[in-house]
Structure 1
Amino acid sequence: MTTETAPASTPAETTTTTTTTLAPTTTVDEQAILDEAEAAYLEAFEVGKEVLRNPDDPENVKHLENHFIGANLDVALENLRRTTEGQFIARENDSNPSVATIVEPAEFVDGDPTLARLTVCEFNSDRIFEVGTAPDGGDALRRDDPVSILLTVRMEFVDGKWRSQSGTRGEEIRDETNRCAEA
């Protein structure tokens, strides 16, 4: 008689695999974000001028809403309303153009990366005309008094872009000369 013996059983080997996934590191370039806020302010300044130079553009409200929010949007819309209702138009002074200058760079407000504050100097030299009221039927000059204004502007990051939210007026100098270089 033949007896077969079953092979000795060996305990199964146990293998444990542990996978560790490291969280991706995200580096936030705060200076780049603040630079974007400054660029957005300068763009808003240009849009504000163009709206008053072309008050009949049907896209003006949309342009303003894309660059302003809160109190600054209210002011921009009111300026547009007064311009259109009063039949006024702003015209650039080619020999002494309006310009905005950043005096103190943007910084986050209370560490919040969606709020930035910067100090700017706006030199506004556009001439204001009343449409069609001159004796010859042309436009009559109503205001030609350039002004340099120091402002602290608050920018807010909303819906994926920076918008001019509010501001505080500082020193104001009425003079033909752009005083922003001296600020």
Structure 2
Amino acid sequence: MRSFSTTYYVPIYFQSVYNSSPIESGVKMLALIIPLTIAATVQGVALSKTGIVPLFWIGYQILVGFLTGWTFQVALSNAQVHARPEDMSQVASIVNFFVTVGGSFFLSAAQSAFNNQLLQEMARRLPDLDPSMVLGVGATQIRQAYTPSQVPVVIDVYVVGLKAVFAITMAAFGVSTIIGFFGSWRRLHANSLKKAAGGAA
């Protein structure tokens, strides 16, 4: 859920505040995506060696890009090794379903907070303009749609909206970390991991 809002709103931050094009914001996102990919791979290997799932749940909010990847497959791995072989496909489907649906709900909540902050701040700082205009313009067209004197104000409004999004994201990180302590602490042995791999195949 947290990674959905992060990967969605960080490009908006680059496009609105730094006037980056969609391609440029994508390039700047590599600093998040590359560590995420590497961490997901390393985590899979580390989990197969240690067999202790909670080690990969605790403290992952420190570096979002790296540690989102680090925890990316923990839920699926943990669910599979505790399931019967004949239930592997159903377990994987259920976990992926809740990951996707949870991310969608969370992204909708973040979007609502973002839009509300934009409308409130626009009405307060630029009362002569229609506040809803900022929602239709989009992050990449701020400097074309507004006058030079209005652009800095609109950028500040975007920053306020993004702060609301990132505050929700950090709260979700905290809740996820606490919930992680209540998961199974049973060590996953090599035969359990082989069972999961065989069932997934």
**Both structures adopt the same fold (TM-score exceeding 0.5):** no
TM-score for both structures, normalised by structure 2 = 0.20
Q: More strand per residue: 1 or 2?
A: 1
Q: More helix per residue: 1 or 2?
A: 2
Q: Which structure carries more relative contact order (alpha carbon 8 Å, separation 6+)?
A: 2
